């Protein structure tokens, strides 16, 4: 098992090198004139040259890449071209914001999806139709509209929560919760639709199997059949969907962070990409690759625990 | 199926609990005690490097709060004493002598004397963001602890305003050039940066500096500044009381802020919307070398119609590059190019372009509102415009390289006619470094004029721009502002020029 984990992590490290190298050279190829943008429209040639020199952009591209890779091994990912903030510090200050929202959204997604999926599979009939309709509508309903509606009701009209901004939990837990509850609800909508459909389908499959009939014939309670047997066996594919959802929500976080003006990973990455802030882009790429590698590894390990047949030798 | 019902209830209760716990807080109410006033502002652009000589742009509110300067500009744009309690200029404006106020210190305790001022200005003279702005300086000296003498190679009317701008930031000598000062700036301004309450590029918290020489003029103990990218989020933050003040672009938005709860008003003109005719040598577009063609372009643009239909309530037609609230502005010059297609065609024919010509212009986020109208109005005199979509992040470099003979741009007013005029003759706005003996003579006269006579001298430069059609200005843009009832706002001549624009309502 340890060898397997190390092999996967090693492959992940190779992936990190490949993806960051591609990012580095693609961004350079795009040729965003960072110094011009920093200096503004009235800048002189000398000012532009001085900024290029200050940022190290006047050096050969390969040399710049070697510098970045060298820094990577010492934990120094450079500084933002635009804010001068160390990349590691910049990411450390923004990731908790996105993580708070994404994790809360995942909890909401999981709870509601399990409830809807299990209920739809167990009851079928009109309830199933209603739940499927809700899931379908939520899948196509634009989150941005929902966000605007929720802000209008809960922030502007009822004044229950703030309309924008983020409060760290270290400052105040209730305020932290207030600042992430609406974004998390908005972010969870699409996930609920896909995950509940996945759980419903898997549950229907499981409930049609022979061992369920056997359990019923032995007088095992319906609750136990649903939650201890069918749901556990149906949870493998659902867990995979759930895990992939975690990764995709990091990307989807961009629009909720914009609506709610949250200083998180999404808006940070978007701004850096538009500006051509390469050190920040590389740092975020590095994080994204690590996230994918680790989540996929955990998915495989947990899937093996849930279903011994899925374990690798 | 009782179990699923229970699960439904559990989920509902969990969500309701989350809302309930969150609702324990709600938006914060503004503090009531005068000694603990907090001002929350919305700022458009993220602030970049905060160190002396490296502030490359964005809203200057944060750096102006942290760093004092020899002189500052008031909300009306007038130069005010600050670190220097007085100053005088030599007869030909080549020597500025400043008397440094006694007893000042930086927020880290370092002494602020003439030597400290010299050190900062020397750092700015070589700083990548400020070297060009201070390019006329030949020497900076401190003959004694309370005197700073700045000499220039040539007279420079804009220098006093540059010293009041980010190019004139005075920072703690021990941190000049250090990595630390990029994110932890130390100045002697009215506020200090609270690192704990700051997320770079997203929000800044400023705490009042009790040792500031003019601390009584700054009533707010804390100023929170939020960078919010989404306009709807700005409006929502305003409506929920999370910010006290915001600039809004579209005047129609004023209706969203009821008079009983908010104060709204028109900002002073903030930027000039202009068709820059930069290829005066005719390198890319040969026709632009002929003044008659440039004048024809000015005559072909229906400024009143554009202001009325494309920027209702926020744009005022103008044919001048300088701010309508500045001394160099002359109302009569706005009538020089009243919309007249026949006269424009006649000028085109005189110049040998009766059949017109073709031009390629960049289409950017700044220009999309105007692209179709400008193209149509220029087509009326035979000029065929082809637009090339250019991402804004690529624009400056293309303009700087002289890729286009003419282009649309919005250029912010700085609060100084001298600076505004020098800026439109630099960098991307003048990639061919165009000049003429007449213009040089007018600029020399303006630069050498005493501060109180510069308005008239710069008005002559402005008239030259109009007569020679160096630009085709279209509208002077001004949005609206909205504030809570707790704040009294005085619109300044340039965005972010002074925190004195914000005062408690009582």
Do B193 and B331 fall into the same domain?
A: no
Q: Does A37 touch chain B (CB under 8 A)?
A: yes
**Residue A181 corresponds to which tokens in the numbers above?**
């509850």
What pLDDT is recorded for position A119? Answer: 87
What pLDDT is recorded for position B31? Answer: 39
C-beta of residue B205 within 8 angstroms of C-beta of residue B489? no
On whether residue B6 sits in a domain, the answer given is no
What pLDDT is recorded for position A87? Answer: 94
Return the percentage of chain A with pLDDT > 70, whole number. 97
Strand partners for B149:
B97, B141
Q: Does A148 touch chain B (CB under 8 A)?
A: yes
Q: Alpha carbon B67 to chain centroid distance?
A: 18
pLDDT category at B450 given cuts 50, 70, 90 is: confident
Tell me: the pLDDT tens digits for A266-296? 888 888 888 889 999 999 999 989 988 888 8
Do B375 and B251 fall into the same domain?
A: no
B128:A82 CB<8 A: no
- pLDDT higher for A130 or A76? A76
Chain A residues with CB-CB distance to B394 below 8 A: 32-33
Do B251 and B352 fall into the same domain?
A: no
What pLDDT is recorded for position B339? Answer: 97
Least confident of A231-245, B218-232, B330-344, B475-489: A231-245
Do B438 and B327 fall into the same domain?
A: yes
Q: Does B145 touch chain A (CB under 8 A)?
A: no
**Residue A262 corresponds to which tokens in the numbers above?**
């949250």
Do B78 and B186 fall into the same domain?
A: yes
ipTM above threshold 0.95: no
How many other C-beta atoms lie within 10 A of the C-beta of residue A145?
Answer: 10
Q: Show the domain range for A170.
A: 92-268
On whether residue A41 sits in a domain, the answer given is no
For residue B246, give every residue at least 6 positions away whose Cβ sits within 8 Å of its Cβ, in sequence order, or none.
B41, B42, B234, B235, B237, B238, B481, B482, B483
Q: Total structural domains in chain B? A: 2
Do B486 and B473 fall into the same domain?
A: no
On whether residue A219 sits in a domain, the answer given is yes
CA B205 – CA B196 distance, rounded (Å): 8
Q: What is the largest CA-CA distance in chain A?
A: 86
Instruction: Look at residue B35 and tell me whether its pLDDT is greater than 60.
Output: no
Tell me: the pLDDT tens digits for A170-211? 989 999 999 999 999 999 988 888 888 888 888 898 888 899
C-beta of residue B158 within 8 angstroms of C-beta of residue B168? no
On whether residue A284 sits in a domain, the answer given is no
Report for A119-133, B220-234, B339-353: range of highest mean pLDDT: B339-353
CA B496 – CA B61 distance, rounded (Å): 5
**Residue B268 corresponds to which tokens in the numbers above?**
């002073």
* DSSP codes, B84-96: EEEEEE-TTS-EE
CATH code assigned at B149: 3.40.190.10
Nearest 5°: the CA angle B504, B505, B506 is 90
pLDDT category at B346 given cuts 50, 70, 90 is: very high
A41:B409 CB<8 A: yes
A41:B23 CB<8 A: no
Q: Which of B473, B498, B500 lies closest to B487 in space, CA to CA?
A: B500
CA B70 – CA B147 distance, rounded (Å): 11
CATH code assigned at B367: 3.10.105.10
CA A286 – CA A13 distance, rounded (Å): 10
Do B255 and B384 fall into the same domain?
A: no
Instruction: Look at residue B30 and tell me whether its pLDDT is greater than 80.
Output: no
Tell me: the pLDDT tens digits for A57-87? 999 999 999 999 999 889 899 999 988 889 9
A residues 212-251 closer than 8 Å to B (CB)? 222-223, 226-227
Instruction: Look at residue B34 and tell me whether its pLDDT is greater than 60.
Output: no
On whether residue A113 sits in a domain, the answer given is yes
Q: Does A33 touch chain B (CB under 8 A)?
A: yes
Instruction: Look at residue B63 and tell me whether its pLDDT is greater than 70.
Output: yes
What pLDDT is recorded for position B186? Answer: 96
Q: Does B429 touch chain A (CB under 8 A)?
A: yes
What pLDDT is recorded for position A309? Answer: 67
Instruction: Look at residue B293 and tell me whether its pLDDT is greater than 50.
Output: yes
On whether residue A153 sits in a domain, the answer given is yes
C-beta of residue B108 within 8 angstroms of C-beta of residue B140? no
Least confident of A4-8, A106-110, B20-24: B20-24
Q: Show the domain range for B490.
A: 34-265+481-504
Query: CA dist B438 to B16, B434, B443, B444, B445, Å?
Result: 74, 12, 9, 10, 11
pLDDT category at A312 given cuts 50, 70, 90 is: low
A181:B19 CB<8 A: yes
CATH code assigned at A111: 1.10.3720.10
CA A206 – CA A17 distance, rounded (Å): 42
Do B283 and B257 fall into the same domain?
A: no
Chain B residues with CB-CB distance to A115 below 8 A: 4, 7-8, 10-11
Chain mean pLDDT for chain B: 90
For the entire predicted model, the pTM comes to 0.84
Q: In Å, how far is B230's CA from the nearest CA of chain A?
A: 6
Q: Does A85 touch chain B (CB under 8 A)?
A: yes
pLDDT category at B24 given cuts 50, 70, 90 is: very low
What's the mean pLDDT in B8-14? 48
Instruction: Look at residue B7 and tell me whether its pLDDT is greater than 90.
Output: no
Q: Does B128 touch chain A (CB under 8 A)?
A: yes
On whether residue B342 sits in a domain, the answer given is yes
On whether residue A42 sits in a domain, the answer given is no
Q: Does B17 touch chain A (CB under 8 A)?
A: no
On whether residue A295 sits in a domain, the answer given is no
Do B277 and B259 fall into the same domain?
A: no
- pLDDT higher for A32 or B27? A32
Do B54 and B41 fall into the same domain?
A: yes
What pLDDT is recorded for position B32? Answer: 39
Least confident of A233-247, B80-94, B105-119, B382-396: A233-247
**Residue B236 corresponds to which tokens in the numbers above?**
């929502």
**Residue A5 corresponds to which tokens in the numbers above?**
């984990």
Instruction: Look at residue B20 and tell me whether its pLDDT is greater than 60.
Output: no
Do B179 and B229 fall into the same domain?
A: yes
Chain A residues with CB-CB distance to B57 below 8 A: 38-40
C-beta of residue A97 within 8 angstroms of C-beta of residue A167? no
For residue B476, give every residue at least 6 positions away whose Cβ sits within 8 Å of its Cβ, in sequence order, or none.
B269, B271, B272, B273, B315, B316, B317, B318, B323, B324
On whether residue B23 sits in a domain, the answer given is no
CA B76 – CA A298 distance, rounded (Å): 62
Q: Which of B429, B434, B440 lies closest to B473 in space, CA to CA?
A: B429
Tell me: the pLDDT tens digits for B140-177? 999 999 999 999 999 998 899 999 999 999 999 999 98
On whether residue A145 sits in a domain, the answer given is yes
B residues 458-497 closer than 8 Å to A (CB)? none
Do B179 and B197 fall into the same domain?
A: yes
C-beta of residue A164 within 8 angstroms of C-beta of residue B26? no
On whether residue B5 sits in a domain, the answer given is no
CA B146 – CA B164 distance, rounded (Å): 19
Q: Which of A281, A219, A242, A224 lies closest to A80 in space, CA to CA?
A: A281
C-beta of residue A95 within 8 angstroms of C-beta of residue B60? no
Least confident of A27-41, B122-136, B344-358: A27-41
What pLDDT is recorded for position B11? Answer: 46
B residues 203-222 closer than 8 Å to A (CB)? 203
CA B312 – CA A226 distance, rounded (Å): 63
A160:B183 CB<8 A: no
Chain A residues with CB-CB distance to B10 below 8 A: 111, 115
Q: List the single residue in B11, B23, B230 with the smallest CB-CB distance to A160.
A: B23
């Amino acid at each position: 098992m340890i060898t397997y984990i190390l092999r996967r992590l090693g492959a992940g490290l190779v992936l990190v090198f490949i993806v960051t190298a591609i990012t580095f050279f693609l961004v350079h190829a795009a040729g965003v004139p960072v110094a011009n943008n920093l200096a503004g429209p009235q800048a002189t040639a000398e000012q532009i040259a001085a900024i290029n020199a200050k940022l190290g952009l006047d050096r050969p591209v390969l040399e710049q890449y070697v510098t970045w890779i060298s820094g990577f091994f010492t934990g120094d990912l450079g500084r933002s071209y635009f804010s001068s903030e160390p990349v590691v510090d910049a990411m450390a200050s923004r990731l908790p914001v996105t993580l708070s929202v994404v994790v809360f959204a995942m909890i909401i997604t999981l709870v509601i999806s399990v409830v809807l999926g299990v209920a739809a599979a167990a009851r079928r009939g009109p309830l199933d139709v209603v739940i499927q309709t809700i899931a379908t509508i939520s899948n196509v309903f634009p989150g941005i509209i929902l966000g605007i509606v929720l802000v209008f009701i809960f922030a502007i009209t009822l004044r229950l929560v703030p309309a924008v901004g983020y409060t760290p939990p270290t400052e105040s837990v209730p305020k932290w919760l207030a600042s992430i509850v609406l974004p998390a609800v908005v972010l969870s909508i699409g996930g609920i639709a896909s995950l509940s459909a996945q759980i419903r389908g898997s549950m229907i499959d499981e409930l049609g199997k022979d061992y369920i009939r056997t359990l019923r014939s032995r007088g095992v309670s319906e609750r136990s059949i649903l939650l201890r047997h069918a749901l556990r066996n149906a949870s493998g594919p659902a867990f995979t969907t759930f895990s992939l959802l975690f990764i995709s929500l990091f990307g989807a976080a961009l629009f909720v962070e914009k609506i709610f003006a949250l200083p998180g990973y999404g808006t940070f990455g978007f701004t850096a990409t538009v500006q051509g802030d390469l050190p920040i882009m590389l740092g975020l790429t590095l994080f994204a690759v690590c996230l994918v590698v680790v989540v996929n590894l955990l998915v495989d390990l947990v899937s093996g625990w849930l279903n011994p047949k899925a374990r690798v030798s | 199926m009782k179990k699923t019902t229970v699960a439904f209830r559990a989920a509902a209760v969990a969500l309701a609990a989350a809302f309930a716990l969150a609702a324990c807080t709600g938006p914060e109410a503004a503090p009531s005690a005068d000694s603990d006033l907090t001002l929350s502002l919305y700022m458009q652009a993220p602030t970049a490097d905060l160190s002396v000589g490296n502030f490359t742009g964005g809203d200057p509110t944060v750096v102006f709060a942290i760093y004092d300067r020899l002189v500052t500009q008031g909300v009306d744009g007038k130069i005010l004493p600050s670190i220097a309690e007085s100053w005088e200029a030599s007869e030909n404006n080549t020597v500025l002598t400043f008397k440094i106020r006694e007893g000042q210190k930086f927020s880290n305790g370092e002494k602020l004397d003439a030597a400290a001022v010299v050190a900062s200005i020397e750092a700015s003279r070589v700083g990548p963001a400020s070297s060009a702005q201070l390019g006329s300086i030949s020497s900076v000296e401190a003959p004694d602890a309370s005197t700073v003498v700045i000499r220039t190679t040539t007279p420079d009317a804009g220098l006093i305003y540059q010293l009041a701008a980010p190019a004139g930031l005075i920072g703690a000598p021990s941190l000049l050039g250090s990595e630390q000062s990029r994110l932890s700036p130390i100045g002697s301004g009215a506020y200090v940066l609270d690192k704990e309450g700051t997320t770079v590029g997203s929000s800044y918290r400023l705490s009042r500096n009790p040792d500031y020489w003019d601390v009584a003029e700054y009533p707010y103990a804390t100023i929170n500044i939020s960078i919010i990218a989404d306009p709807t989020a700005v409006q929502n933050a305003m409506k929920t009381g999370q910010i006290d003040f915001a600039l809004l672009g579209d005047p129609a938005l004023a209706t969203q802020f009821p008079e009983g709860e908010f104060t709204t008003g028109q900002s002073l003109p903030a930027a000039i919307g202009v068709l820059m005719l930069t290829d005066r040598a005719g390198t890319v577009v040969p026709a632009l070398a002929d003044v008659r063609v440039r004048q024809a372009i000015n005559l072909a643009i229906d400024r009143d119609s554009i202001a009325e239909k494309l920027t209702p309530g926020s744009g005022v037609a103008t044919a001048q590059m300088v701010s309508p609230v500045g001394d160099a502005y002359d109302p009569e010059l706005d009538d020089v190019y009243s919309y007249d297609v026949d006269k424009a065609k006649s000028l085109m024919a005189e110049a040998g372009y009766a059949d017109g010509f073709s031009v390629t212009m960049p289409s950017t986020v700044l220009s999309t509102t105007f692209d179709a109208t400008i193209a149509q109005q220029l087509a009326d005199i035979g000029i065929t415009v082809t637009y090339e979509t250019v991402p804004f992040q690529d624009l400056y470099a293309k303009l700087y390289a002289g890729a286009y003979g003419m282009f649309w741009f919005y250029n912010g007013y700085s609060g100084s006619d001298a600076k505004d005029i020098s800026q439109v003759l630099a960098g991307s706005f003048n990639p061919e470094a165009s000049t003429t003996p007449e213009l040089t003579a007018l600029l020399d006269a303006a630069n050498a004029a005493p501060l109180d006579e510069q308005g008239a001298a710069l008005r002559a430069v402005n008239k030259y721009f109009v007569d020679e059609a160096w630009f085709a200005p279209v509208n002077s843009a001004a949005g609206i502002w909205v504030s809570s009832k707790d704040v009294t706002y005085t619109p300044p001549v340039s965005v972010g020029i002074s925190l004195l624009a914000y005062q408690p309502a009582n």
